[in-house]
Amino acid sequence: MKRMILGAIGVLGLTVASVAWGEDIQVLTPDQLVIEKIECVGNERTTCETIQEEVRITAGDKVDESEIANARIRLGLMGLFKESDLALEKGSEPGKVILKIQVKEESPLFADLTVGGIVDNGVFRPGLKTTFGHRNLFGTGKILQGSFQGVKSFNSYLLYNLQDSAASTKVEYVDPHLFGSRRFYLTTGLEYSLHSYEYLLFYVGKRESHFKRVLMPQIGLGYRFGEFSFLHIGYGYDFLGGQWPNKLNTTYGWNSLDDVNFATKGSVFLMNLDWTFGDFAIFDLAGGYRKYWSVGPRSTLSLNLMSTGQNSSAFSGDTRITGASNFNDVPNVGVGYGYDLKQGSPTDNTSGIRRARLTIDAGFKGLGLGYGSHTGFYAVTSPAVRAGLTLDVPSFGTVNLFAMVQKDKHFGGAQ
């Protein structure tokens, strides 16, 4: 009889139970072990099938350390669990193990609130965005959410606007595992928005007012590949769009952040192509990259590279897949520093603030080149500094407060 024990115990923090089968000892490395079956523990609302779809490990697979580490990240990004852990236990015979997924569930209801403002050439532009919903319908991780956002500015220097206000509301349904797939996901939504602006035609001394409405149902299909990458193609039809009612959107990217709102490591990348067409076509290509590093027990550094025109609202669906919220109102090119004022555990059920992070970002907002049929060639550079505070409040959700100061400079072409 032989007794077989696992080599490299403790790698990735795996918990390995006793695996004695006999008296002699044989050391096995993790890649010599085969997962016999998968068990879920602690999942009262969420089905084990849904958890396994996100883990992407199946019975019969060999134990892969990197796959288990990535599975931990994906489980954390689901937003369904306060805690999650993966443990290996003795199987029915030597060389076989049981992968046990242990979770402690979080409330499926969620809310996010962002409030802040931008001072642009001395003009204050306040803004607000709120999202709320349910991210575990039927215990299968399906998401139903609604959002509202609005912004208003007065006497903007850019384009000589005197007033500019916009508001939009959106309802979305996201199936992160379409028909039980581990790779395909579905996004659907209905958006209604209003945009009004008044500007001065400085060369004739005349004011003009414009008002635009959008009513757009949307549908998209996404595919997740590799460890954290995805490709999403979406289509929307604006019933009030006039000359350009059709909108086709293609997004490629990845999200390997360890936490969407309190990231300490990982990166997020997005490349988005918008094609709006009707009587004629308009193309818009934008991209963004953000990388985080932990530089101490409470401190993080970040690098942000984002093209002009980047808009996270263009990335449909689940922000836990896209990580798009990391591009909201930050300098397009710059660096950031974050300091955790409070580092509570996700399992804390305190009625106050569980986690708090102060952030400072500095760089350029709107850095880039462009070409317009009426403006010709132009460039925009806006030195910008942003201060933010992110709060994790168990009784509500995530709260983001921010203020940014920037100053536009234009050159080239006609403005």
> pLDDT (tens digit, 9 = 90+) per residue, 205-263?
566 677 788 899 999 999 998 888 999 999 999 998 777 789 898 999 998 888 888 99
Residue 20 confidence (pLDDT): 43
**DSSP letter for each residue of 230-284:** EEEEEEEE-TT-TT--EEEEEEEEEE--S-SSS--SEEEEEEEEEEEESSSEEEE
| Predicted confidence band of residue 320 (pLDDT cuts 50, 70, 90) | low
Average the pLDDT over 379-399 and give the result.
85
Same domain? 294 vs 381: yes
Within this chain, do residues 61 and 140 fall inside the same structural domain, yes or no? Answer: no
Structural domain boundaries enclosing 309: 109-411
What percent of the chain is modeled with pLDDT above 70? Answer: 74
- Comparing 396 with 335, which gets the higher pLDDT? 335
- What pLDDT does 21 receive? 44
Whether 121 and 206 map to the same domain: the answer is: yes
Domain end call among 56, 88, 105: 105
Q: What is the mean pLDDT of residues 168-196?
A: 91
- 151 pLDDT above the threshold of 60: yes
> Which stretch of 2-16, 146-160, 244-258 has the lowest confidence by average pLDDT?
2-16
Same domain, 245 and 365: yes
In this structure, the answer to whether residues 329 and 223 fall within a common structural domain is: yes
Span 254-283, mean pLDDT? 86
Residues 95 and 165 in one domain: no
Structural domains of the chain, count: 2
With cut-offs at 50, 70 and 90, classify the pLDDT of residue 348.
Answer: low
Q: Are strands 24-28 and 2-6 parallel, antiparallel or unpaired?
A: parallel
Where residue 10 sits, what CATH number does that domain have? Answer: 3.10.20.310
CATH number at residue 260: 2.40.160
Most confident of 154-168, 176-190, 321-335: 176-190
What's the confidence (pLDDT) of residue 286? 77
Question: Could you give the CA distance from residue 358 to residue 345 in angstroms, rounded to a whole number?
Answer: 17
Task: Please give the average per-residue pLDDT across 265-279, as a whole number.
Answer: 86
Mean pLDDT of 28-43: 84
Strands 229-237 and 246-255, by their bridges, are antiparallel
Position 17 confidence tier, pLDDT thresholds 50, 70, 90: very low
Q: Which stretch, 64-68, 97-101, 241-245, 321-325, has highest mean pLDDT? A: 97-101
Average pLDDT, integer, range 127-132: 90
Q: Based on the domain organization, do 101 and 148 belong to the same domain?
A: no
CA 26 vs CA 11, 34, 75, 261, 397: distances in Å: 18, 16, 33, 45, 50
If one compares 86 and 379, the residue with the highest pLDDT of the two is 86
10 Å CB burial of residue 371 (0-12, 13-18, 19+) is exposed
255 and 397 belong to one structural domain: yes
Which helix (H) or strand (E) segment holds residue 292: the answer is strand 281-294
Q: Grade residue 123 by pLDDT with cuts at 50, 70 and 90.
A: confident
What is the pLDDT at residue 29?
Answer: 67
User: Rounded to two decimals, what is the model's pTM?
Assistant: 0.79
- Res 321: pLDDT: 60
Please tell me whether residues 173 and 207 are part of one structural domain.
yes
Instruction: For residue 331, name the pLDDT band (cuts at 50, 70, 90).
Output: confident
- If asked whether residues 45 and 188 sit together in one domain, one would say no
Which residue would you say has higher pLDDT here, 78 or 319?
Answer: 78
Distances in Å between the Cα of 244 and the Cα atoms of 130, 193, 232, 305, 397 are 28, 16, 22, 30, 38
Q: Residue 347 has what pLDDT?
A: 61
Q: Is a pLDDT exceeding 60 seen at residue 95?
A: yes
Q: What does the pLDDT read at residue 200?
A: 61
Share of residues in the chain with pLDDT > 90 (%): 32
144-168: average pLDDT: 72
pLDDT at position 3, please?
37
By mean pLDDT, which of 240-244, 266-270, 322-326 is the weakest? 322-326
Same-domain check for residues 87 and 173: no
Final residue of a domain: which of 51, 85, 105? 105
Are 148 and 81 in the same domain? no
Average pLDDT, the chain: 79
Tokens at 79, concatenated: 């937003």
More confident residue, 109 or 10: 109
Nearest to 91 by CA among 163, 34, 22: 34
Last residue of a domain, one of 50, 70, 105: 105
Local confidence band at 75 (pLDDT 50, 70, 90 cut-offs): confident
